[in-house]
Amino acid sequence: MLKTKSFGAILGFAAFSLLTGTVSRAGTIITTNLPAGTQIVNVNATTDGCGSFGSGGTGDPQSYWFQPNASAAATTAIILAPVTYKFRIISPSDAATQFPSLTTTQRNQMFSAWTFNTPWVTNYMAFRSTAVTNSSESQIFDGGAVPTGVSYDTTNATTAYNSLIASGYDDNIRLAPPGRSGTTAADFASQNFTFATTTTVLFAVPDNGLFDNQGGVSIVVTPEPGSLSLAAASASLLLLRRRRRC
């Protein structure tokens, strides 16, 4: 998704923004009016991107992305406990149905899809926070994409989101490796991810030229009930042991 633009195009877009009063807002995180432990991360494609990319020997020059930018580090970072999580794409309209307690202000922070001129997509990257300063650390995984051969209409934000939901891959993630060079259903088979330790995770779009982007992507992050209960039981047992030692 690398974009190579002329200097004239950059100036033209800047002039358009000034004339229309277009203002970019950074990504946001919604933590209230949701079930316990659930968060919605709203990645703004105009502000939350990456610094570089590479093939990692896969032949695909954009298999791996690196260096999430300062905006992503500041506005899309969440702390996740060492349990299993599901990461699922969601739109403002579906969020209103699934989480009716969300306010209008909260839903207005959300996105359905994003574009770098064309097409519209829902792909996002998840990084450990250490990737901000470690230029050799790639994404943990990406989501919001579909395997080769699966229908995915990229005409506009609505069709991109709806076709992702219809595909059934809205909550699948693709680990790195293979990164974005993975194109088969097997590469997308891992729907959940388990963190071994408490981890700060941040989200960005796979793009390092954000000046002509629109939209963004919203991700519901939910701890799996079984793993959350196990983590709570383990924490209680550890606390009990510590009390006995006192």
pLDDT in tens, 157-180: 999 999 999 999 999 999 999 999
- Residue 205 clears pLDDT 70, i.e. is over it: yes
Domain for residue 170, yes or no? yes
- Residue 52 clears pLDDT 90, i.e. is over it: yes
Confidence of residue 229 (pLDDT cuts 50, 70, 90): low
Domain for residue 12, yes or no? no
Asked if 176 contacts 64 with a C-beta cutoff of 8 angstroms, the reply is yes
- Residue 18: predicted pLDDT: 34
- Residue 89 clears pLDDT 90, i.e. is over it: yes
Asked if 27 contacts 203 with a C-beta cutoff of 8 angstroms, the reply is yes
Domain for residue 74, yes or no? yes
Q: Which residue from 193, 218, 172, 176 is spatially nearest to 81, judged by alpha carbons?
A: 193
- Residue 131 clears pLDDT 60, i.e. is over it: yes
- Residue 238: predicted pLDDT: 40
Confidence of residue 16 (pLDDT cuts 50, 70, 90): very low
Which tokens hold the place of 62? Answer: 């954009």
| Mean pLDDT of the 198-227 span | 94
| Residue spans of alpha helices (H) in 41-142 | 70-75, 92-98, 104-107
Count of domains forming the chain: 1
The better pLDDT of the pair 122, 14 is held by 122
Q: Long-range contacts made by residues 159-167, C-beta under 8 angstroms, separation at least 24?
A: 159/120, 160/112, 160/113, 160/119, 160/120, 160/121, 160/122, 161/89, 161/91, 161/112, 161/113, 161/122, 164/89, 164/122, 165/89, 165/94
| Mean pLDDT of the 25-47 span | 94
Domain for residue 20, yes or no? no
Domain for residue 234, yes or no? yes
The better pLDDT of the pair 125, 244 is held by 125
- Residue 21: predicted pLDDT: 35
Domain for residue 8, yes or no? no
Q: Are strands 199-204 and 78-80 parallel, antiparallel or unpaired?
A: antiparallel
Residues 6+ apart with CB under 8 A from 164: 89, 122, 144, 146, 152, 170
Across 23-27, 102-106, 204-208, least confident range:
23-27
Q: Measure CA of the first residue to CA of the last residue in the chain; give whole Å.
A: 57
Confidence of residue 227 (pLDDT cuts 50, 70, 90): low
DSSP state of 138: B
Domain for residue 127, yes or no? yes
Provide, rounded to the nearest whole percent, the portion of the chain with pLDDT above 90.
77
| Mean pLDDT of the 213-230 span | 86
Domain for residue 10, yes or no? no
Which pTM does this prediction carry?
A: 0.84
Enclosing domain of residue 235: 26-245
- Residue 241: predicted pLDDT: 46
Asked if 29 contacts 75 with a C-beta cutoff of 8 angstroms, the reply is yes
- Residue 228: predicted pLDDT: 56
| Sign of CA pseudo-dihedral 150, 151, 155, 156 | negative
- Residue 234 clears pLDDT 50, i.e. is over it: no
- Residue 97 clears pLDDT 70, i.e. is over it: yes
